Amino acid sequence: MGLGLLASRALRSSRIFTSPNPRNAIVRTIVSTPELHNPEAAAAAQAQPDPPPTDLPGRTSVGGARVHFPNPEDAIEVFVDGYPVKIPKGMTVLQACEVAGVDIPRFCYHSRLSIAGNCRMCLVEVEKSPKPVASCAMPALPGMKIKTDTPVAKKAREGVMEFLLMNHPLDCPICDQGGECDLQDQSMAFGSDRGRFTEMKRSVVDKNLGPLVKTVMTRCIQCTRCVRFATEVAGVQDLGMLGRGSGEEIGTYVERLMTSELSGNVIDICPVGALTSKPFAFKARNWELKGTESIDVTDAVGSNIRIDSRGPEVMRILPRLNEDINEEWISDKTRFCYDGLKRQRLNDPMIRGADGRFKTVSWRDALAVVAEVAHQVKPEEIVGIAGQLSDAESMMVLKDFLNKMGSNNVWSEGNGMHPNADLRSGHLLNSTMSGLEKADIFLLVGTQPRVEAAMVNARIRKTVRATQAKVGYIGPATDFNYDHQHLGTGPQTLIEIAEGRHSFCSALLNAKNPAIIVGAGIFERNDKDAIFSAVETIAKHGKIIRRDWNGLNVLLLNAAQAAALDLGLVPESGKSIESAKFLYLMGADDVNLEKLPSDAFVVYQGHHGDRNVYRANVIFPAAAFSEKEGTYENTEGRAQQTLPAVPTVGDSRDDWKIIRALSEVAGIWLPYDTLSAVRSRIRTVAPNLLHMDETEPATFSALLKPEFCQKMSLTPFGAAVENFYMTDSITRASKIMAQCSALLSKK
């Protein structure tokens, strides 16, 4: 603060306090709500008709929350506004109020973060305590009489609001948080109707947090939620609190970006508009958006998301609460990939002409050409590959179409050429994501969960933080945001552990709930069966698969993988690409087509003009996940559904409809006309895909598998995901993701 400013402040405030006009002075001290003028007296007046706390109807808790009593003896009873509630010991006053159905205003408290207790918005009155107490930080004690609605509490809130608004800019009309801002809402509910501050508001320099998070630091109310999120959940020590008093600021200590795959979540937890989404800045107001509850498909986790759209455009993607999968976070890829849905889209059926250029044609002509070619090749030469983002319905129809054509060469990319689809336990995250929290030791084999499945990584980190679980890792050197032991880089270490020669073995044997997580990158290795049998040997020795605990997990990479294996999309021969004459790519961009014969006819059905479109002869435009209803099975075997949020682009069609239409033109007529007809076909193959939102545990464990004696090669494990931000056709088309990965590579 400059000396001049200091002087002028002093002058001004002295002018106010020594105001010569006494009437003016009275006006300045008006408290907005007159009855709060003397809170103690008012409280006393109110205390008289206190209703007796007997025979009161039960109240419903906030958001229908249920209390779980880990130990019934530990239940204590407190009184919230005269209503008795039973809560487990150790709950805070704020939680007790929530159980009683009273929502306490708060800024800094967040149920998934540690308690800071620095905003003071949650003040309530507790009988026999001399001052109002911050309910979020105060443990509830037996028999405590909590009053949330008294004049003292109201006045305390009003006072806190006034202090918070003292330095908060009056930005609401141009603030992106407007309409969903905690401060805005709570100042409407609890604030005073006028301010008493005439000084200048302080201003704070904005920080650069990278291409995802926009900062307007003047709006910050120093709740430190973002700092706690970064250190506790995201596991990066980048954000911090600098300075003291009115000079207090949130910032990165040195000029650097926030490098976390979860950084976008600070946008959601910031109660004000200090941290907002940079790509969404000034694009829309939240009340004009239509929310569609859907599923994320950029990785195999299947995070629950809400797609906010306006007209035909996806405006933003937000997380949806699902305790079993993503809690309330999502990864940056999930949150910001949506601008890829507007770029590089295929919108018309196209045929490559003699000059090598694509020509737009009608669906009629495109289907006729493909049907004709498909009949000219031998059935064995027909190959179909489903892409990473395919839904179960279209994979089912693709498989049926190819089978009817006489070919059985159909698989989903990422599953390798010899997938083992017989036992579901061989490709699922058997302990489930929430089950991972019970594990006390992790062995990660060839997987980098931080980039492969950020939400799984967040779970592991949560477990490691909570219980000091040990983590052992085999694979190429990589970044972890929790303590881990790098055991080795390749199968050599795995063999050592399997044979009991490694130092990690004893820890594994002593653990109660050991968890092994094998990366799906290993599916692509030729010695995958040998690696899996080594892992199973470890599992046998370590008693990892028991009746009450199945710790042998496979972490898949793509949204389509699990459903593809459940539906039996397994290639007949490992060399089918080399001999293919008719290749049907259903959004498959990551298969290597180098070995494809040059005279092969390639049909590309998909929503983005991505890698393999360059090799295609015919293009069928299809719908992206935000535009269709489709079933996806996540890596723990949970079937979930996407819902259409926006209309399809141009002349594109849903994937299953395209294949259904093609089958009719080709004269083999698949018998499904509606999505429910396709689903009843799925019911005969993999009924678990129709049990929405449920995990279907694998019935047979992997230990039933016959022994393999395949030679294991000693080439070290590779990284399955090279660039976290660009893994599929949508994210590769996204400009925001491109900026992120440019920063990532510069670092």
Partner 1 sequence: MSFTLRSVKVPPNSVSLQEARSRTFDFFRSACRSIPSVMEIYNLHDVATPSQLRSTIASEIRKNAHITNPKVIDMLLFKAMEELNNIVEHAKQRHHIIGQYVIGRGGLVQDLGTKDQGISNFLKNFYDSNYF
Rounded distance between C-alpha atoms, residue 426 and residue 418, angstroms: 13
Stretch of residues binding partner 1 (CB under 8 A), selected from 202-210, 224-232, 482-490, 663-671: 663-671
Q: Is residue 664 at the binding interface for partner 1, with CB under 8 A as the rule?
A: yes
Residue with tokens 């009273």: 102
Stretch of residues binding ligand SF4 (CB under 6 A), selected from 124-132, 217-225, 351-359, 637-645: 217-225
DSSP state of 615: G
Interior angle at CA 516, CA 515 and CA 520, nearest 5: 135
Nearer to partner 1, 381 or 654 (CB): 654
Q: What minimum distance in Å lies between the beta carbon of 250 and ligand FES? A: 15
Q: Which does 686 bind (CB under 5 to 8 A by kind): partner 1, ligand SF4, ligand FES, none?
A: none
Rounded distance between C-alpha atoms, residue 454 and residue 171, angstroms: 34
Q: At what angle do helices 182-190 and 151-166 cross, to 10 degrees?
A: 130
**How many CA within 13 A on the CB side of residue 16?**
13
Contact 286, 308 (CB under 8 A): yes
Q: What minimum distance in Å lies between the beta carbon of 220 and ligand SF4? A: 3
Among 93, 101, 107, 644, binds ligand FES (CB under 6 A): 107
Nearer to ligand FES, 118 or 489 (CB): 118
Among 212, 221, 307, 386, binds ligand SF4 (CB under 6 A): 221
* Residues 422-481 close enough to bind partner 1 by CB under 8 A: none
Q: Is residue 666 at the binding interface for partner 1, with CB under 8 A as the rule?
A: no
Rounded distance between C-alpha atoms, residue 227 and residue 205, angstroms: 17
Burial per residue of 70-101, b for 16 or more beta-carbon CB atoms within 10 angstroms, e otherwise: eeeeeebebbbbbbebebbeebbbbbbbbbbb
* Residues 129-148 close enough to bind ligand FES by CB under 6 A: 134, 136-137
Interior angle at CA 386, CA 382 and CA 390, nearest 5: 150
For β-strands 618-621 and 514-519, DSSP reports them as unpaired
Dihedral sign for Cα atoms in the order 322, 325, 329, 335: negative
Q: Is residue 224 at the binding interface for ligand SF4, with CB under 6 A as the rule?
A: yes
Site string for partner 1, 622-651 (x = CB under 8 A): -x-----------------------xx---
Among 220, 295, 361, 726, binds ligand SF4 (CB under 6 A): 220
Q: Is residue 660 at the binding interface for partner 1, with CB under 8 A as the rule?
A: yes
Nearer to ligand SF4, 206 or 380 (CB): 206
Q: Which does 680 bind (CB under 5 to 8 A by kind): ligand FES, partner 1, ligand SF4, none?
A: none
Q: Is residue 654 at the binding interface for partner 1, with CB under 8 A as the rule?
A: yes
Q: Which does 303 bind (CB under 5 to 8 A by kind): ligand FES, partner 1, ligand SF4, none?
A: none
Q: Which does 149 bind (CB under 5 to 8 A by kind): partner 1, ligand FES, ligand SF4, none?
A: none
Nearer to partner 1, 349 or 446 (CB): 349
Among 108, 220, 226, 382, binds ligand FES (CB under 6 A): 108
* Residues 566-625 close enough to bind partner 1 by CB under 8 A: 623
Burial class of residue 314, CB neighbours in 10 A (0-12, 13-18, 19+): buried
Q: Please state whether 468 falls in left (phi above 0), alpha (psi between -120 and 50) or beta.
A: left
* Residues 12-41 close enough to bind partner 1 by CB under 8 A: none
Rounded distance between C-alpha atoms, residue 719 and residue 477, angstroms: 9
Residue with tokens 């889209």: 345
* Residues 345-364 close enough to bind partner 1 by CB under 8 A: 362-364
Dihedral sign for Cα atoms in the order 604, 607, 613, 619: positive
DSSP state of 234: I
Q: Is residue 731 at the binding interface for ligand SF4, with CB under 6 A as the rule?
A: no
DSSP state of 252: E
Q: What minimum distance in Å lies between the beta carbon of 620 and partner 1? A: 11
Rounded distance between C-alpha atoms, residue 681 and residue 207, angstroms: 54
* Enclosing H/E stretch for 306: strand 304-310
* Residues 249-288 close enough to bind ligand SF4 by CB under 6 A: 250, 270-272, 274-275
Interface residue list for partner 1 (CB under 8 A): 362-364, 623, 647-648, 652-654, 657, 660-661, 664-665, 669, 673
Q: Where on the chain is the footprint of ligand SF4 (CB under 6 A)?
A: 220-226, 250, 270-272, 274-275
